Amino acid sequence: MTTGAAAALGHAVTAQAARLRVAGLTVRFHLPGATVHAVTEAAFEVEQGRCLALIGESGCGKSVMAHTLLGLLPGNATVTGSAWLEQPGRPPLDLIAAPERVLAREVRGRRIGLIPQSPAAHLTPVRTARAQLTEALRELGGRYTADELAERAGLRPHELDRYPHQLSGGMAQRVANAIALAGDPWLVIADEPTTGLDRPLVDATMAELRRLCDDGHAVLLITHDLRAAEQVADDVAVMYAGRIVEIAPAADFFRAPRHPYAAGLLDALPTRAFTPIPGQPPELTRLAGGCAFRPRCARADDACAVRPQITPDTPVACHHPLERHA
Q: Which is nearer to Ni ion, 87 or 177 (CB)?
A: 177
Report the residue number, 40 or 128, with the smaller CB distance to ligand ATP.
40
Cα separation values, 214 from 32, 51, 87, 114, 219, Å = 46, 10, 17, 19, 10
Smallest distance, Å, CB 115 to Ni ion? 12
Q: Smallest distance from the beta carbon of 281 to ligand ATP, in angstroms?
A: 9
Q: What minimum distance in Å lies between the beta carbon of 225 and ligand ATP?
A: 11
Q: Are 63 and 287 in contact (CB under 8 A)?
A: no
Residue placing its CB nearer to ligand ATP in the complex, 19 or 243: 243
- By the 10 Å C-beta count (0-12 exposed, 13-18 middle, 19+ buried), 141 is classed as exposed
Which residues, at least 6 apart from 82, have a Cβ–Cβ distance to it below 8 Å? 21, 22, 23, 24, 25, 94, 96, 97
Taking 3-state DSSP, the helix, strand and coil percentages for the chain, each rounded to the nearest 5, stand at: 35, 20, 45
223 binds, among ligand ATP, Ni ion, none (CB under 5 to 8 A by kind): none
The answer for 61, left when phi > 0, alpha when psi is -120 to 50, beta otherwise, is left
CB of 247 to ligand ATP, least distance (A): 17
The answer to whether the CB of 243 falls within 8 A of the CB of 308 is no
Residue with smaller CB distance to Ni ion, 240 or 258: 240
Report the nearest approach of Ni ion to the CB of residue 191 (Å). 6
CA pair distance 197, 206, nearest whole angstrom:
11
Given the complex with ligand ATP, which of 2 and 58 has the nearer CB atom? Answer: 58
Residues engaged in binding Ni ion (CB under 5 A): 62-63, 117
Identify what 51 binds: Ni ion, ligand ATP, none; CB under 5 to 8 Å per kind. Answer: none
Which residues contribute to the site for ligand ATP (CB under 6 A)? Answer: 29, 31, 36, 38, 58-64, 74, 76, 117, 284
- Give the one entry of ligand ATP, Ni ion, none that residue 32 binds, where binding means its C-beta sits below a cut-off of 5 to 8 angstroms depending on kind: none
Residue 29: contacted member of ligand ATP, Ni ion, none (CB under 5 to 8 Å, by partner type): ligand ATP
Nearest CB to ligand ATP, comparing residues 42 and 123: 42
Residue 36 interface partner, choices ligand ATP, Ni ion, none, CB cut-off 5-8 Å depending on type: ligand ATP
Alpha carbon distance 10, 90 (integer Å): 8
Binding site partner of 38, from Ni ion, ligand ATP, none, Cβ cut-off 5-8 A by kind: ligand ATP
